Amino acid sequence: MKKFFFSVTLLFLFFLLFTSIYPQNNALELFQSGIKQEQQGDLYSALFTYQKVIKLNPYFVDAKIALSRIYYKLKDYKKSEKILKEALTQEPKNIDALNMLGNVEIALNNFKEAEEIFTRAVSIDPTNIESQYGFANLYRLEGRYKEAIEKYQYILKIYPNDARSYIYIGDIYMELGKFTKAGGFYRNAVSLDSHSSFTHLKLAKYYYKMGRLNSTTNKKIADSYLNAGIDEANTTLEIDPENRDALETLGDIYLFKKGFTEALNYYQKLLKLKPDDNLLLYTIGYCYESLGMLDKSAINYYKALTIRRDDEVNRFRLEEIIRKLYKTDLKNKLRKELSDYHYDKGKYFFNKNYLEKAFFQFKRAVQLEPLNPTKRLSFAEVFKIEKYYERYLYELKNIIRDTLDVNTQDLNDRIEILENIISKGFPARWGVSQYLEDSSSPYYVPKSHTKIAILNYFSIKNDKTIHKYLSKTLKEYIEYFLYSYPKIELVQTSDISQTEITSQDKALKLAQSIKSDFYTTFVVNEDEESIKIEVELRSSINGELIKRFSAYSTGNDRLFNSLFSLSVDINNSIPLHGIIVKIEGDRVLINLGRRHGVKEKMSFLIVRKGDYSPNRNYDVSTISDKSILGSITITKVGELVSEGVYKYKGIFNRVNEYDSVLLNPGKNAKNNKNKNEKKQP
């Protein structure tokens, strides 16, 4: 009996020992499996594997560090931070955990915390190279370049063949604009570690950058750099056939060289690895658009839009393509779908009484679906509320003319009422029709415009965008806004949208060749969350900077909001000038109205016909005193015309029809000052 109990006890103890060891062994096996998955780039499988390991053994610190590393690679920095802090409560002096946490804090822009963590790590083990790297990378990202270089050089004293340090020193010199010096460090890194895809890729990107920078000054040198970039990127792919950065770099180089077919080859390969990348689909759509393959372009733009519905750049490009593809098929379903998006936006702004923004959204909805009477009426309603009755009448007549299934009785009633109101206004008494487009008609009002060229300007040195070649969309989108301002005429040539301008001298030459008064160039900084656009308005005479504007926007509709704001700034900066249309006694009719910004009691100078140019005389003081014939004080303001009383200068009245009129800045500034003084208590 004793032997029996002894045997049972031994079996029980063996069972306890086996069950305590087995989970540990199982956890170790799983951990090794996770390491392999991570090394193969299968991050999500590694993620679940490490989670299982920790569930089996909650005290497995190395598994926690590995899991935090996966979250770090997936850019889920907060989760990575949480796990590392748990690991450090178990092992406060774990150098690997401290170094990883320092890198996480850098990613979270918690630079002060990162420095404290690396200091703690170095105090535990001053020789740990990863801690020194942490300091060096921190200093580099903070812009403390001198300290960063000193750290990397310290590392190189210990490990003279460390390619990473050469790479990062090269990155610093790139930031400092010392490109030749940077290239030397990148090449050293490749010579030290020629089997590394990382070093070859860095050198490929360097050559691509240098090719772009030299493209504005020396095409031969630029091409040699770009070709070297292609060679290095291909070497990267020989080492790592599915290297995503190398595929993208090759695509980018060929895209820059206008080799759209070659670029597509690499982007399509990359798409197999990143099938849900909306920005990549956008780039593929752009390549097809540049090749004139609009149907394939639309397919890729649409796929990108289904992934990111709020991508305004992609949406605008798709809308432009659809308008070209279905120019005659105005009832196309996709036209309607795209139109509905803007119509809903328009209704939102309309209900919030943001009428200017509602106007542009309704306008876009009508462009995409012009036969929809409901949308046309909503667009017209904006003019009604703004009391632009003649423009409202114009829109109502167009609805009857252009659309079907309209309640014409209701519209005819509105038209009759409006015609009665307009017939009693002062423009009718002058015998003019403000929106008449037939220049041969006696009721036609001549238009005065300032000619502006919105150039497809791409700043190679300064632009940082996530949408490649964003300048084309910026140009077309801001033109969409500016078309609606009556004092602006947008000057174009047939191929101006395709002509990318990369230097100020080329911009000036193009602006002069198309005979514009002013032109604009852009500098753009765009990331996933925000966009900042700087616009320079320049004289087409000599390229002189007239004004600089900027707009910064985050969140939804950031591109719309930024360009809307900039279009207002540009319009407000354009000189307000027109002509005398008719003269009766001491009264005149000029071709400027409320839509131009004219108000009652405004003062205008009268300048002899031919002696004023908005470009040449942007500063009114440059106008010769002999050219000034008198002044006008506005008494009545219409939509596109105004009536005023004029006084001629000197003994003889030399004022005639078609003489120029321009805002008198001194007089109006004085009037505004007096108004402000009266308002003060």
612 and 672 assigned to the same domain: yes
Confidence (pLDDT) at 498 = 60
Give the bridge partners for 523, in sequence order: 534
Confidence (pLDDT) at 137 = 86
- Kindly write down the DSSP assignment for every residue of 594-657, as one continuous string: GGGT--TT-EEEEE-TTS--TTTTSSGGGS-GGGEEEEEEEEEE-SS-EEEEEEE-SSS----T
Backbone angles phi, psi at 292, to 5 degrees: 80, 10
Say if residues 566 and 520 touch (Cβ distance below 8 Å). Answer: no
565 and 582 assigned to the same domain: no
- Kindly write down the DSSP assignment for every residue of 271-299, as one continuous string: HHH-TT-HHHHHHHHHHHHHTT-HHHHHH
548 and 478 assigned to the same domain: yes
Interatomic CA distance for residues 345 and 184, integer angstroms: 53
**Any idea which residue has 């969140």 for tokens?**
555
Backbone angles phi, psi at 212, to 5 degrees: -65, -45
Residue type at 329 in one-letter notation = D
Interatomic CA distance for residues 551 and 570, integer angstroms: 12
> Do the domain assignments include residue 50?
no
> Do the domain assignments include residue 318?
no
> Do the domain assignments include residue 565?
yes
Radius of gyration of the chain (CA): 34
Say if residues 300 and 284 touch (Cβ distance below 8 Å). Answer: yes
Which residues, other chains included, contact 111 with Cβ-Cβ below 8 Å and sequence gap of 6+?
105, 138, 141, 142
Single out the residue in 569, 587, 619 at which a domain terminates: 569
Single out the residue in 526, 548, 569 at which a domain terminates: 569
Residue 325 DSSP symbol: H
Residue type at 276 in one-letter notation = D
Interatomic CA distance for residues 399 and 401, integer angstroms: 5
Domain, as residue range, for 673? 577-679
> Do the domain assignments include residue 418?
yes
Nearest partner of 542 among 577, 567, 494, 509, judged by Cα: 509
Say if residues 68 and 104 touch (Cβ distance below 8 Å). Answer: yes
> Do the domain assignments include residue 130?
no
Q: CATH number, domain at 476?
A: 3.40.50.10610
Structure tokens at 330: 């105005």
- Spell out, as residue ranges, where the chain has pLDDT lower than 70: 1-25, 404-407, 493-498, 666-681
561 and 587 assigned to the same domain: no
- Kindly write down the DSSP assignment for every residue of 424-468, as one continuous string: TSHHHHTT-BTT---TTSTTB-----EEEEE--B--TTT-B-SST
* Model confidence pLDDT, tens digit, residues 497-541: 467 888 889 899 999 999 999 999 999 999 999 999 999 999 999
> Do the domain assignments include residue 248?
no
Interatomic CA distance for residues 445 and 435, integer angstroms: 8
Nearest partner of 459 among 215, 248, 230, judged by Cα: 215
Q: Which helix (H) or strand (E) holds 490?
A: strand 488-490
* Model confidence pLDDT, tens digit, residues 557-599: 999 999 999 999 999 999 999 999 999 999 999 999 999 999 9
Confidence (pLDDT) at 269 = 97
CA distances 344 to 332, 339, 376, 497, Å, are 19, 9, 13, 29
> Do the domain assignments include residue 644?
yes
Total structural domains within the chain? 3
517 and 590 assigned to the same domain: no
Give the bridge partners for 660, in sequence order: 579, 607
530 and 555 assigned to the same domain: yes
Say if residues 304 and 336 touch (Cβ distance below 8 Å). Answer: no
Q: CATH number, domain at 419?
A: 1.25.40.10
562 and 477 assigned to the same domain: yes
* Model confidence pLDDT, tens digit, residues 606-624: 999 999 999 898 888 899 9
Residue type at 449 in one-letter notation = H
**Any idea which residue has 């704001």 for tokens?**
565
Confidence (pLDDT) at 26 = 84
**Any idea which residue has 């921190």 for tokens?**
138
Tell me how far the alpha carbon of residue 227 is from its chain's centroid: 29
Interatomic CA distance for residues 219 and 209, integer angstroms: 14
Q: CATH number, domain at 602?
A: 2.40.10.410
Confidence (pLDDT) at 407 = 63
634 and 537 assigned to the same domain: no
605 and 624 assigned to the same domain: yes
> Do the domain assignments include residue 101?
no
Backbone angles phi, psi at 659, to 5 degrees: -70, 155
624 and 556 assigned to the same domain: no
333 and 403 assigned to the same domain: yes
Residue 406 DSSP symbol: -
Single out the residue in 548, 569, 590 at which a domain terminates: 569
Residue type at 121 in one-letter notation = A
What is the β-pairing status of strands 488-490 and 450-454? parallel
Interatomic CA distance for residues 340 and 558, integer angstroms: 19
Interatomic CA distance for residues 493 and 508, integer angstroms: 15
pTM to 2 decimal places: 0.84
Three-class secondary structure of residue 577 per DSSP: strand
Residue type at 388 in one-letter notation = Y
CA angle (12, 14, 17) in 5-degree steps: 110
381 and 470 assigned to the same domain: no
Tell me how far the alpha carbon of residue 229 is from its chain's centroid: 27
Confidence (pLDDT) at 502 = 84
The helices-and-strands tally (H runs, E runs) of the chain is 27, 11
